[in-house]
Amino acid sequence: MLANRMNRSSAASGIPLSTCPSFESYCSQCERASPTTNTPMCIIFFKFDPRPASKNAYRLILAANRDEFYNRPTKAADFWVSNSEILSGLDLEEGKEGGSWLGINKRGKLAALTNYLEGRPNPDAQGRGFLVSNFLTDQSQDSYSYLKRVSSERHLYNGFNLLTAEFKTNTIILIDSSGNVTFTERTMLNCDISQWSTSSFQFKLKD
């Protein structure tokens, strides 16, 4: 289940990134810079169960709220005309056409993005939406390899949190633009009783 919503927003600031105590749910958010309120701006949360006990249960439930100016041109979520394996919304803003903030492809790769400001944004920075689109179209790299490359190129973008997942590997990786990584993998120990082991690691990528 995927959901996304667009709301009006002012600029974002800060880098609050929270990881819920259990592997089953995570959230990533950036906050609004406002003189009267400090409410969430962009937010992603999801529940992930790669081998649900019930055949009627969901492997993934994900919702994302993208706060953005209403007049920013975008295309609602749909399969791409240029690649029918990818489903996402698309940015239509001049110079950033083809970027996205949330998408999935038929090979089981998913990517989601939240933005945050680090001081004054660089107007010449590359569009962060391409971080999502490039991952979905790249068939040669897994999540970790892709995020290592992104980390080495993070100076090209304004601040971001990028979440990627590959459901064939039961691995979820979260990286921010400072190179901080949360790597979580779930492994089945006993298929008869659906017993799982969860490993989670946090580290900083080397430049």
In this predicted structure, what is the pLDDT of residue 100? Answer: 96
Q: How many domains does the chain have?
A: 1
In this predicted structure, what is the pLDDT of residue 189? Answer: 67
Nearest to 161 by CA among 112, 203, 207, 119: 112
Longest CA pairwise span in the chain (Å): 55
For residue 153, what are its two tokens?
Answer: 């190129």
In this predicted structure, what is the pLDDT of residue 2? Answer: 38
Sheet holding 171-176, edge to edge: 74-79, 86-91, 102-105, 109-115, 160-166, 171-176, 180-190, 195-204
Cβ-proximal residues to 53 (8 Å cutoff; 6+ apart), any chain: 194
In this predicted structure, what is the pLDDT of residue 65? Answer: 81
**Side chain identity at residue 7, one-letter code:** N
In this predicted structure, what is the pLDDT of residue 99? Answer: 95
In this predicted structure, what is the pLDDT of residue 61? Answer: 82
DSSP letter for 126, please.
P
The four Cα atoms 92, 96, 101, 103 give a dihedral, to 10 degrees, of: 80
In this predicted structure, what is the pLDDT of residue 135? Answer: 96
Mean pLDDT in consecutive groups of 10 residues from the start of the chain, 207 residues: 31 28 44 42 76 75 80 92 95 93 91 83 91 94 87 89 82 83 77 71 83
In this predicted structure, what is the pLDDT of residue 41? Answer: 64
Q: What residue numbers bound the domain in which 16 lies? A: 2-204
